[in-house]
Amino acid sequence: MQGWVAPCVCYYHIPVNAVSEVIFRNAELFTGERFLGPHDLRIAGGVIVDIIHTDLLKPKGVREVDLTGMWVLPALCDLHTHLREPGNPEKETIATGLAAAAMGGYGLVVAMPNTNPVCDTPEICEAQCELRRQAMSAQANGELPRLKPACALTVGRKGEQPVEFEPLLAVGCTLFTDDGDDVEDDEVLRSVFRTLGTAQLPEDTLVRVMFHAQNRRLMRHGVMHDGDVSWRMKLPGISRESEDVAVKRAINFGLEFHRAVHITHVTTAGAVQAIRKGKEEYERANLEHYLTCEVTPHHLTFTHEDVERLGAVAKVNPPLREENDRHELRKGLLDGTIDIVATDHAPHTAEEKAQPLANAPFGITGLEVALAASMTATGAHRDQDRATRVLSAMTSVPAGFACAPPYCGLLRERDPADLVVFDPGAEWVVNPQEFAGKCKVSPYAGMKLKGRVRLTMLGGSVAYGSLDELERVR
Ligand SMILES: [Zn+2]
């Protein structure tokens, strides 16, 4: 056992359509942990064969692509995606969601279990992986990102009774969440932690409970952040307190039961501060790395002022907050309090999102723009120290949290060629009509972003973009 369990993650294989051999010249290389400076990469048979200082590599007759000024990164990992299948293929399917992921540079996505039926048994995990296999065989060329289902904490996400953990652990599930809702009842949550405590856990694997930390009673029927904008718009607000209280509760449960707790989509300055303090407490209790959290690109980018401008398009839960919250989120990501960036990609149909704000469903999509949006929001496209933090938070760190196979989130010789060519100097205007996902409604529409994914290669096969196109934009 090497600290990861495979069955539930769709397996790696060398795609039949892997490019036979290619050399990327002069690429600024990011390993998943640090920048190495300009290097050449030789890819053959779906694998990274050589990573060498430029000009040392001189094979003849092999296609070469000059990537001067571009970055090569490991394919990204998203710990929080809603793929909507089974149950709501009109919003997104596993095929379209994974195509959106490939466009965004992702090689692995963790699917949230709030599907219909809810993903709370090994059979539903397997059904999702089967849908990916079908999508793979349906498309003529290219590879799809790998998929790892997260499973519900309680049966049917009803918040009443813990799921049967052992069969899920046995097929490789390591992430459990009722995402979309918190488990509100303290007694039920205790029994969840106790049941998990008695389950036989895979050796060397850290099983994580992912908290959608939001107190429903305090949230009431709010539809956006509770502040002067909701007041002006005469809409019921969602207080910061509803999140702050729930974050502290999640932190305390992890401490009490000595379990790894991951808090999804933090949005308030108070939550970031509570997590910063909580991490010190976990360290004192010898539970270092047991408290982790994520931020979404949209919370790094927008505030409640944008809701006034965009209406239901910017309706999301937890909501877009205020400038001081956004400042604290950016700071928390850069100082490491916030461990990872996760998309919370939550597609809906155009009709649903066209409703008045009060009636429209919560959710923003993000897979296609996550990297550029996160780089732009943090100024990381022009600062390698910041870029190191943001890129780690989207590659090696989440891949570790997902207990993904060791080649995910890192660029190393002899590993499968799962990589992204990123153009840090590109400036582009987001056009959601070009998104690969089904949902073309986006608060990023018309926005200028810095840095762009030019190519996603998975197992040596081009999953997004093309080598010809790469040469053209150079
Ligand atoms: Zn979610």
Distance CA 386, CA 13 (A): 34
Q: What is the pLDDT of residues 161-179, one digit of tens each?
A: 999 999 999 888 999 999 9
Residue 85's nearest CA partner among 134, 36, 118, 47 is 118
159: its two tokens: 């918040």
**pLDDT mean over 327-344:** 98
**pLDDT mean over 182-193:** 94
* Ligand 1 mean position, distance from CA 271 (Å): 17
Instruction: Indicate if the pLDDT at residue 139 is higher than 80.
Output: no
* Ligand 1 mean position, distance from CA 269 (Å): 20
Q: What is the pLDDT of residues 223-266, one digit of tens each?
A: 999 999 999 999 999 999 999 999 999 999 999 999 999 999 99
Domains of the chain: 1-474 (3.20.20.140)
* Ligand 1 mean position, distance from CA 344 (Å): 5
What ranges make up the beta strands (E) of 335-432? Answer: 340-341, 419-429
pLDDT at 7 (0 to 100): 45
Grade residue 140 by pLDDT with cuts at 50, 70 and 90: low
* Ligand 1 mean position, distance from CA 73 (Å): 26
* Ligand 1 mean position, distance from CA 470 (Å): 33
Instruction: Indicate if the pLDDT at residue 365 is higher than 90.
Output: yes
Q: What is the pLDDT of residues 66-125, one digit of tens each?
A: 999 999 999 999 999 999 999 999 999 999 999 999 999 999 999 999 999 999 999 999
Asked if omega into 86 is within 30° of 0 (cis), the reply is: yes
pLDDT at 1 (0 to 100): 30
Q: What is the pTM of this model?
A: 0.95
Distance CA 346, CA 315 (A): 11
Distance CA 230, CA 224 (A): 7
pLDDT at 175 (0 to 100): 95
Q: What is the pLDDT of residues 88-97, one digit of tens each?
A: 999 999 999 9
Task: Give residues whose Cβ lies within 5 Å of ion ligand 1.
Answer: 179, 344
Percent of the chain with pLDDT over 70: 95
Grade residue 142 by pLDDT with cuts at 50, 70 and 90: low
Beta bridge partners, 74, equal: 419
Specify the DSSP element, H or E, that contains 195: helix 186-198
Instruction: Indicate if the pLDDT at residue 10 is higher than 80.
Output: no
Instruction: Indicate if the pLDDT at residue 2 is higher than 70.
Output: no
Q: What is the DSSP letter of 364?
A: B
* Ligand 1 mean position, distance from CA 23 (Å): 39
The secondary structure of 253-270 as a DSSP string is HHHHHT-EEEE-S---HH
Report the phi/psi class of residue 223: left, alpha or beta, with left for phi > 0 and alpha for psi in -120 to 50.
alpha
Q: What is the pLDDT of residues 263-322, one digit of tens each?
A: 999 999 999 999 999 999 999 999 999 999 999 999 999 999 999 999 999 999 999 999
Residue 66's nearest CA partner among 421, 382, 428, 460 is 421
Distance CA 378, CA 226 (A): 25
Q: What is the pLDDT of residues 416-465, one digit of tens each?
A: 999 999 999 999 999 999 999 999 999 999 999 999 999 999 999 999 99
* Ligand 1 mean position, distance from CA 263 (Å): 11
Task: Give me the active site residues, please.
Answer: 344
Strand order in the sheet with 175-177: 175-177, 208-211, 260-263, 291-295, 340-341
pLDDT at 162 (0 to 100): 95
pLDDT at 13 (0 to 100): 56
Specify the DSSP element, H or E, that contains 327: helix 323-335
* Ligand 1 mean position, distance from CA 267 (Å): 13
**pLDDT mean over 28-37:** 96
Residue 306's nearest CA partner among 294, 296, 298 is 298
Block residue for tokens 């877009």: 320
